Amino acid sequence: MADGEKIRILIVDDIADTRDNLAKLIGFEPDMEVAGTADGGQAAVNMAKKERPHVILMDINMPDMDGITATDHDERPGRAGLSPPVDARRRTRIPRETVLRR
């Protein structure tokens, strides 16, 4: 990150209170800012393409499109998903099937 550049965070959750509370917490951090919020997976895909956040905090279980599917979705050539510059999701050892319980 360049000096003085804030970490831009996209918050995605279908529960409005969760989005609001996370945004409030991030607001206390001088080196972070909320790039936007979305209430579902498809909205996250659209918002991430528009805002280009550094970090995406994404709920996994959402009604319209789950967070894992949304993270894997990106129509641009050469991209594996909505992954920000560092994709922490790929660093986990938890299998997708374990996380997605419907």
pLDDT tens-digit profile of 67-93? Answer: 888 887 755 445 555 655 444 444 455
pLDDT of residue 70: 86
pTM: 0.74
Contact, 9 vs 48, CB < 8 A? no
35: containing domain: 7-99
Task: State the Cα–Cα distance between residues 50 and 53, nearest whole angstrom.
Answer: 9
Which of the residues in the chain have pLDDT under 50? 76-77, 85-91, 101-102
Task: State the Cα–Cα distance between residues 48 and 84, nearest whole angstrom.
Answer: 9
Is 59 a member of any domain?
yes
Domain of 44: which CATH number? 3.40.50.2300
Q: Tell me, what amino acid is at 29?
A: E
Is 91 a member of any domain?
yes
